[in-house]
A and B are shown apart, each in its own frame.
Chain A
Amino acid sequence: MNCLEFRKALLTEPTRQAAAIRAHASTCALCRQFGLGAARLEQLLGEVARSPVPPGLEERILLRAALHEDIPPAVPDRRRFLAMAASVGVAAMGALAFTAWRQRDAAADLLVTHVRTDHPRGLASASGGSGLTESATRALLLTSGVQPGPLAGLAIEDAWSCSPLGQSGLHLKLAAPGGPVHVLLCPGEWRRSVSRLTRDDKQVELHPHRLGTLALIAASTPDLEELRTPVLAALDGNDNT
């Protein structure tokens, strides 16, 4: 180590090459003097740079850490991410199910209200009020897009076109022992499964149908159960019984 390297070393990284620094200082009086000054600077720099630390600093950091002890890290690990994704999925499915239930609920309400209020002059009324002929009923069903099967056994009191859920559909009023049963074909209402609901004094059954949804509405459940099969057979042309 020469004088230049000695001074560079002392002013750059004084703790490095300590042996070489000592060795050179022992052979060069000028550098030894420079080294004394450098050592005093290092000692003073260490003291000045190490300014007093406020009391309680360590405790405050530990306190904050303790307060956040149970808070998960900001970046989720794989398991936490999967759990979060599953939670979001379950919540989304729940929201969809709730929305579907509310929509189904709303459709049933509208259909019952429609049955109570919508009784225009239908084909039966036009033909004397004693029930529809099979040909008249078949013609009406055809105009509604339904290719009817055998209608024997169904006592249709009245029939007309209607739009209970916003789209033009079919309304049949069937005679039954417990009172009239209303059959509504609602093209705009699509559903995947059968649902049964009660609205005030009315029983409602909603069935999937290839043209939309088929609703059976009556005052008592037995009537619906007796009529369900022949109605579906008639309206589906034996395709979906």
Chain B
Amino acid sequence: MGTHRPSGGAATPMNDRRRVFEGLIRDHGPDLYRFAHWLCGQPQVAEDLLQETFARARHALSSPDDLAAARAWLFVTLHREHARVCERQRPQGVDSPPGQIPQPQPTLDDRPEASALRRALAVLAPEYRDPLLLQVLGGLSCEEIGAALGLTPQTTATRVFRARRRLRAALGEESGRQGDET
């Protein structure tokens, strides 16, 4: 996470808060948006999730101690917000579908292996994909992911391991059977 230095204007608490907030958006906004987009598959919903997450961050993150753990907090908050939205929209008695495929965007990498990996990631079950994305995009450790998702670190590690193994399989790589059981 980058540091956020005042860049002019009166050094009031309000201005400081604003600069800190702008720094949070600049440093974490893009990866948070990508995470949201993988979770819901729709650009507009992803942006709504991001707006809601930062709206919560404005009131929750203010001290330097908060900022030190801001990235993990933001990713976990966005994931919970997505779960809350899904829970509200899901008809009773119907399970949520596995990962929705994000709508195609014009500037995506169109190399065959990139396309194959994108498809594999999109159809990966959320229980595997979410921990993997929290690690790849959010930089969270297995302990942090487990705490956020209500899993033990061992279970989290197993899910991340299996997610990567499936992606390797989609790319035609060896699955590394010696390491199947974690």
Listed in ascending order, the chain A residues whose CB lies under 8 Å from chain B are: 3-4, 6-8, 10-13, 16, 34, 37-38, 40-41, 44-54, 57-58, 60-62, 64-65, 68-69, 73-75
Contacts and interface: CB of A to CB of B under 8 A. Distances in A.
Interface in B117-137: 117-118, 121, 133, 135-137
A38 B58 CA distance: 38
A65 B80 CA distance: 21
Contact of A12 (B33, B51, B108, B157): B157
A54 B47 CA distance: 9
B161 A49 contact: no
Interface residues of B, number: 50
Given A45-B117, A52-B108, A57-B47, 7 more contacts: A12-B142, A37-B168, A38-B164, A44-B113, A47-B109, A51-B38, A73-B59
Classify the interface of chain B: helix, strand, loop or mixed.
Answer: helix
Contact of B179 (A4, A46, A48): A4
What are the 7 closest A-B residue pairs judged by CB atoms, nearest first? A7-B179, A11-B164, A37-B173, A7-B176, A73-B59, A11-B161, A53-B30
Classify the interface of chain A: helix, strand, loop or mixed.
Answer: helix
18 contacts: A11-B161, A13-B135, A13-B160, A34-B174, A41-B168, A44-B114, A47-B114, A48-B117, A49-B34, A49-B137, A50-B30, A51-B102, A52-B108, A53-B30, A57-B50, A62-B25, A65-B21, A65-B55
B84 interface: no
A61 B136 contact: no
Nearest to B58: A65
Interface in B6-60: 18, 21-22, 25-26, 29-31, 33-34, 37-38, 43, 47, 50-51, 54-55, 58-59
